[in-house]
Amino acid sequence: MKTPAKIAASVFAALLAVAGQAAAKPLIPAREWAMIRQLQANYELTTEQTWLLAAIRRHENGRAGLEFGVGGPMNSGHPAHRYRDGFKSFYVQGAWAAGTVKKNYNGDIIAFAKRYCPASPVKWANGVSILMARLKRENNGRLPGEKQPKRNISFP
């Protein structure tokens, strides 16, 4: 028969194992980092803008066709919703997001949030700021992957 102390110890060990697995899983997978780095090159984003783009990806965390949350509801008719395959859709959504970041982000996350998420800019800015900090911590302040050369990515 297990004593309460043994039960508590096994529950604690299980919780530690789950926490260790969660900590080992990166916020953004390597495949997506490679695509984000390509968007960085194509849109000539600064390092800070690239961190923001990655944080937007994680914050919005949409399914294929809404990866960066661009264009509102899926059936809104927005051109960023052309694809739903998880690859082309990532680049199209990412391109719209990268263009918005390039054009509108000057270091003021609240001002940018008013453009990117006008419905709840302060809440959105807080969430994205927290994710930017976590991504930087997770990657020791260095963008993962290699910087890519500028490439023309076009889809039919």
Q: What is the pLDDT of residues 50-72, one digit of tens each?
A: 999 999 999 999 988 899 999 87
77 belongs to a structural domain: yes
The pLDDT tens digits of the residues spanning 113-154 come to 999 999 999 999 999 999 999 999 999 999 998 888 898 887
Residue 22 lies inside a defined structural domain of this protein? no
**Backbone phi and psi for residue 103, each to the nearest 5 degrees, phi listed first:** -80, -35
Query: Per the domain annotation, does 156 fall within a domain?
Result: no
Q: Which residues contact 62 (CB under 8 A, 6 or more apart)?
A: 68, 69, 93
Q: In the chain, how many domains are there?
A: 1
98: containing domain = 28-138
CA dist., res. 137 & res. 107, Å (int): 19
- Is the residue at 45 inside a domain? yes
pTM of the model: 0.81
- In-domain check, residue 19: no
| Any domain includes 68 | yes
Q: Is 84 in contact with 28 (CB distance < 8 Å)?
A: no
Locate all alpha helices (DSSP H) within 29-120, ordered by sequence: 30-43, 47-60, 88-104, 109-116
